[in-house]
Structure 1
């Protein structure tokens, strides 16, 4: 009887540990609330990018460089390489109060012929050829470096097919893909779970 009680206690303890580990593991909502169906042409394994001189002029180059580096390392299915402005699939700019009030950054989607595609269409499965990211140095004036890093990471995350994490079913906590201003120099485990759901490990 003593051995039976010990065995039951051992099984219950193992189950509790397993459930605790499952709860602690970051998960990705695979619906379109958080992950777009559409993608950049050619996939994420060969994203060519070009950074306009305005990015350095407004002191945003550190955030952009960090965002590209961290997302590049997030998945074997993601690879960025620099290119000329005429051939790049990702073009990054910076401005000062060039976006609507309190909009810190913006990502838009285009065909090479200059036709813009709505973000909703990308979410629902339309592919695109060029992404344009604008970082607003005016609305982010006075931000700490970690906050600028998060802002740039957020916009590049949209290029990789991620939507906002405050969309239902929302994720609690601060993440690169949650709208707002947060001190995050790297994508969180939840950010990584989503981008790896889209592009693999």
Structure 2
């Protein structure tokens, strides 16, 4: 599914938003239109006091971009936007095209039931959002989160990618699958 708003060919800059908000020199609406928004609503986009989930309908209206959501996150989404259903589903294995690059949707529940990562084999890159960070898994302390589930997602869906795959996280520094794989047993032992 192609996206209607693209004005930069560097996919990492189009997709990746860290906790500080939009990348320099890019329009926030463009980034937010392309950012995979979890129904959990904890990935800050543009204004810093609101989450991407909170501003997604307004940004979609402003840019014409669709709001796509994994169905397992719909109950969380509807708590924030009961009057606005997503435009479509994100499903495991689905392919999206952004800036001419194919992204494969990987359903990686744990941080949220419908959490997804986007894998770009052509770029040897996976966008992990809040599923995997440098040094371990994302937060699982909420009622809808699950540590055992996020560990299963990381082990079964992400650590199976080639070791040189770059990991673009939702917050913090990038890493690689190869750098993170040896930490799995330690994360399990520490329980977070």
Name which structure has the greater RCO, CA cutoff 8 Å, separation 6+.
1
**Please, what TM-score do these two structures have when normalized by structure 1?**
0.28
**Please, what TM-score do these two structures have when normalized by structure 2?**
0.29
Choose 1 or 2 for highest CA Rg: 1
